[in-house]
Amino acid sequence: MRQIAFRQALREAMQEEMRRDNRIYLMGEEVAQYNGAYKVSQGMLDEFGPKRVIDTPIAELGFAGIAVGSAMNGCRPIVEFMTWNFAVLAFDQIVNSAAKMRAMSAGQFGNPIVFRGPSGSAGQLGAQHSQVFESWMANVPGLKVISPSNPYDAKGLLKSAILDEDPICFMESEMMYGDMGEVPEEEYYIPIGKADVKRAGTDVTLISFNKMMKVALAAAEELEKEGISAEVIDLRTIRPLDMQTIIESVKKTNRVVIVEESWPFGAVCTEIAYRIQKDAFDYLDAPIRRVNGADSSMHYAPNLVAAYLPDTTKVVKVVKEILYR
C-alpha cells in the first residue's frame, strides 16, 4: 500500500468530497494563495477556485460566524483554524451558535460544519500556542470531537466528518503533518464514534489519542521487553466516546492507564475513568491511573517542555506501579 503524509491524507479527504458536492467549501487564514499554513490545502485553490477555497482575514470569530450562517442556508463549510489556540476567539460561534442551532430551531436548521486545525503543543511555542482543546469542545452538547493519530484514520474520519449533519471539531497536530502512513488509493470512510485497538495485550490497557498515541505505543514496546503485555486503544473520536471497546479491554486486562497531553483537571481521562469505575469497577485489579501534561502553562525552555509533556518513561513508570504495587 502507498505511504502518504498526514497533510496529504487530509487534503485528499477534502478534495474527494468537494469534487462530489459543490456545496462544500474551505475557508481560513492562508488556505488559498499560500496553500495553507501547513500546506494541507496545497493545490486546492487551483482546482476549486477562489469561491470554494477562500482566504480570510485574521478574524476567527467573523469567519466562524460566516460558516454558521452559510451552513444554515445549505452549504457545508470546512473551516481551518491556523491553530485551535486562535479558535478561542471563535468559541462564541462554535459553542453558542453551531452547537446549539439544531436544538434551538427545533431541528429546522442543521449546522454541518467541520472546524479543523492543529491542537496541542508543537515544540517551543510558549504558553499561548501549546494548549489542548479536545476536552473543552467535548464538554459541549451538540458538538462532535475527532482527534486522529495517523494518516489512515485522519483521511477516513475527515471524510465522514464532512458528510456528517452536525458540527464537528477536528483536532490535528502540527507535529504530525509530516508523518507518513499507509493510506489506500481506493475510497473509504471510518465511522465516527468507534475507537481502534492499535495493539492487543493482556496485562494493562493504555488509552490515548492524537500524538500521545506515539507515546502510548512506544511505552507498550518498552513494556514488552520486560514481559508486560499492553493493549493500546486509540480513541480517535472523543465525543461520542466508544466506551464499549474500552470496557471490553478492561475486562481482559484489569488495569488502565490513560495518556493525555492536556491539563489533568477536567480532562478527557477524567470522564473515561468515571465511566470505567461506573460500568466495570468489579473488573479492576488496581486504581485507574493517568499520565497528563503538567497542571501549569507550558513554558518556552526545552527542559520545561520535556518536563511538562507525557513521555514513554513516565508511562512505563505508572504501569509498573499498578502492576507491582
Determine what percent of the chain is predicted with pLDDT higher than 70.
100
What the chain holds in terms of domains, given with CATH numbers, is: 3-182 (3.40.50.970), 196-323 (3.40.50.920)
Please tell me which residue in 17, 29, 60, 134 is annotated as part of the active site: 60
Instruction: Mark whether 129 is an active-site residue.
Output: yes
What are phi and psi for residue 203, nearest 5 degrees?
-100, -30
Tell me the mean pLDDT in the region 17-40. 97
Q: Give how far Cα 53 sits from Cα of 78, 161, 274, 301, Å.
A: 10, 18, 42, 37
C-beta of residue 237 within 8 angstroms of C-beta of residue 244: no
CA atoms of 103 and 261, how far apart (whole Å): 32
Q: What is the pLDDT of residue 198?
A: 98
C-alpha cell at 175: 507535529
Instruction: Mark whether 299 is an active-site residue.
Output: no
Q: What is the pLDDT of residue 22?
A: 97
Residue-wise pLDDT for 297-310, tens only, equals 999 999 999 999 99
Residue-wise pLDDT for 209-243, tens only, equals 999 999 999 999 999 999 999 999 999 999 999 99
Whether the predicted pLDDT of 278 surpasses 80: yes
Whether the predicted pLDDT of 194 surpasses 90: yes
Whether the predicted pLDDT of 205 surpasses 80: yes
Please tell me which residue in 129, 231, 260, 271 is annotated as part of the active site: 129
Tell me the mean pLDDT in the region 29-40. 97
- What is the band of 281 on the pLDDT scale with cuts at 50, 70, 90? very high
| The model scores a pTM over 0.75 | yes
What is the rounded average pLDDT for all residues in the chain? Answer: 97
C-beta of residue 60 within 8 angstroms of C-beta of residue 35: no
Q: What is the pLDDT of residue 175?
A: 94
C-alpha cell at 197: 485497538
Determine what percent of the chain is predicted with pLDDT higher than 90.
95
CA atoms of 36 and 58, how far apart (whole Å): 14
Whether the predicted pLDDT of 325 surpasses 80: no
